[in-house]
Every structure is written in C-alpha cells, then in structure tokens.
C-alpha cells in the first residue's frame, strides 16, 4: 500500500480515529496536520503529535503545513479550508446529514434532545457539509447525556467509517456516494462566548440538556448571581414543577434549597443546581437564600 491519504485532524475524535487507522492502515498515511483549539480544555494536539512521532508519520502544525499531494485527504473536526488541488477531500461530520450542517452539530443535537446521534462521511465541495454522502452511521441515545459521554460514543463511529474508506482506497476503489436532499437540510450556527449563558426563560429539561451539552471539553454553562457574580453550572437536574404565582416575574429565582442545593424557577419546570464553580474553578455554594440567577449582569454593576 502506498501513502495515499493525508489526514487533517483535531480533538479527541481526530486523535482516536487516527490512532485506529495507524494500527491497521499505517502504510496508507502520507502525513498528518493538526491544529490547536483554544475553545477546548483539552484539544488533543499534543497527543496527536506524540502519536505521529511514535509511528514515524510526518506531522505538521496547520500554520506551516505543506499542500497535500496525496490522492486523498481526510478531515476530522477540521474548521478551515484545505487546499486540495491535488487531493480529493473527504470530511467527517458529527451529524446525520443533511441535518445540522455547520458548527458543533453534536452539541446542537444534545441540546435539542435528539433520540439518535451519528457521523457522516462525505465528499467536500464548495459549500460546507453539503457534498455527496459516502456513508453514515448512527446510534440511539438516552438522556441525561453529557457532551463528553456523547463524544466517547461517536468516536467508534468515526473509526468504523474511516476504516471502511481506507479499505476501499487500499483496494483501489473510489468510495461511491449519493447526493444530499437539500430540502431536509438544517444548520447549526457557530457559537461564541454569549452562547454559553443559560436562558432561564427556557424549560428546565432544556436547560439541563444545555448544561450537559456545553460542559467539558467546552467552556461550560454560565450564569450570573444577582446580576453580579459570574459562575459556571457544571451539573443540574430538572425536577418536578410546582405552581408558581406570577411565574414570568419569578424566572431565575431560587425557590427551595434541597439537600443544600438551590432549586431555580425556570420558564417551565424547576432546575436543581447540583454543582457550580466560581471563575477561579473553585466549588461555589450560595451565601444567601434570596438569589436570582440571570443571563446578563445587572446594569447597576456594569463598569
């Protein structure tokens, strides 16, 4: 087998898939390009670099990577354009396309409460995530489900798809594909710092899924206490609702302390906060009962 594939990888999914490929199809791998992700607590850049060194595979950072000259390139968790003048590019995407084209699709699927998650392999084209589908695979899930758990569950799906593609390439076959149904396409838009704040107007089950979906390795769900102190909610649970008088005016208020854990009024339902930390990463407990959690800082405390 000659070296026919250049890999562009990021995150745990990219590292674990590359490791699997090297164990079974090392002679196919031409080179590996990786990049850091400042938005993740662990981007697996160093692990990918060390993996390539152990297998004696050429490794490059995105900033100084050469243009791939191999017949094929495979991108996993990649977010930049790739100059594939001499290579045909296959991308792996965290969704069952054409659903959730775009950014952080696995996060969006968990927030939405989807009953199944999956991975799609597709030929890249000029419009992101809209190329012809080579293959896809899915699995059923149950909630609660954290993003870390979901990543661990989809990683084997990546390995399964990429190994099948490597088998075809090793046999000299061009992976066949079918066009996407654009009428069924949905889009997952990129996230910034504002998107990590909890919207307490939402129902408590949605908020629990949100907390679970944006946790480690992402930045985590955030909120303000009385519009002043910024905290991160790491674990929460939707619990049985009660009749709240004038609910619309009480959103975000602590209504009970259960097992020393605050229970918050949501747009619908109640949310028990089981674990939260301050900006220094230390465990945080409420100093008083009369607390309102807010999405934005109080105007009285803006600089």
**Of residues 271, 233, 232, the one with CA closest to residue 252:** 271
The pLDDT value given to residue 1: 55
- CATH fold match for the domains 5-188 and 193-301: no
Is a pLDDT exceeding 80 seen at residue 177?
Answer: yes
Query: What are the beta bridge partners of residue 237?
Result: 272
What would the DSSP string read from start to end of 119-147? EEEEE--SSTT-SPEEEEEEEE--SS--H
Within 8 A by CB and 6+ apart from 283, the residues are 275, 276, 277
The pLDDT value given to residue 302: 42
The pLDDT value given to residue 247: 98
Residue matched to tokens 């993740």: 40
From residue 135, how far is each of 52, 173, 248 by CA, in Å?
27, 15, 47
Please say whether the beta carbons of 255 and 249 come within 8 A. Answer: no
What SS3 class is residue 42? coil
Using one digit for the tens of pLDDT, what is the confidence trace for 29-62?
999 999 998 877 788 999 999 999 999 999 999 9
pLDDT confidence band for 174 (50 / 70 / 90): confident
What SS3 class is residue 57? coil
Domain ranges within the chain, ordered by starting residue? 5-188, 193-301
The pLDDT value given to residue 301: 46
Residue matched to tokens 């066949």: 176
The overall average pLDDT reported for the chain is: 94
Task: Say what percent of the chain tops pLDDT 70.
Answer: 98
- CA dist 266 and 101 (Å) reads 30
Reply yes or no on domain 5-188 having CATH 3.20.20.100.
Answer: no
Instruction: Give the relative orientation of helices 105-112 and 147-170 as an angle to the nearest 10 degrees.
Output: 130
Domain with residues 193-301, CATH architecture? Roll (3.10)
How many Cβ atoms are within 10 Å of 138's Cβ, its own excluded? 16
Within 8 A by CB and 6+ apart from 166, the residues are 5, 21, 24, 25, 28
**What is the distance, to the nearest Å, from the Cα of residue 201 to the centroid of all Cα atoms in its chain?**
24
């Amino acid at each position: 087998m000659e070296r026919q594939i250049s890999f562009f990888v990021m995150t745990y999914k990219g590292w674990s898939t590359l490791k699997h490929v090297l164990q079974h199809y090392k002679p196919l791998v031409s080179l590996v390009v990786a990049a850091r992700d400042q938005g993740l607590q662990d981007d697996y850049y160093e692990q990918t670099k060390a993996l390539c060194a152990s297998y004696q595979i050429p490794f490059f950072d995105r900033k100084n990577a050469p243009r791939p000259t191999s017949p094929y390139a495979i991108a996993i968790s990649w977010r930049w354009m790739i100059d594939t003048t001499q290579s045909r590019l296959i991308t792996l995407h965290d969704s069952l396309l054409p659903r959730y084209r775009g950014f952080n699709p696995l996060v969006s699927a968990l927030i939405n409460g989807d009953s199944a998650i999956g991975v799609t392999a597709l030929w890249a084209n000029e419009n992101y995530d809209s190329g012809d589908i080579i293959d896809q695979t899915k699995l059923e899930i149950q909630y609660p489900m954290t993003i870390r758990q979901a990543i661990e569950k989809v990683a084997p799906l990546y390995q399964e798809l990429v190994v099948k593609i490597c088998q075809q390439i090793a046999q000299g076959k061009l992976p066949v594909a079918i066009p996407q149904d654009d009428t069924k396409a949905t889009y997952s838009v990129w996230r910034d710092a504002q998107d990590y704040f909890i919207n307490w107007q939402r129902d408590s089950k949605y908020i629990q899924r949100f907390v679970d979906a944006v946790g480690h390795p992402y930045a985590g769900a955030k909120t303000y206490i009385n519009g002043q102190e910024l905290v991160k909610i790491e674990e929460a649970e939707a619990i049985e609702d009660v009749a709240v008088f004038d609910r619309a005016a009480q959103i975000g208020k602590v209504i009970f302390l259960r097992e020393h854990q605050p229970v918050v009024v949501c747009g619908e339902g109640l949310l028990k906060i089981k674990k939260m930390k301050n900006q220094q990463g230390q465990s945080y407990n409420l100093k008083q009962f009369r607390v309102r959690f807010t999405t934005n800082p109080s105007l009285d405390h803006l600089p």
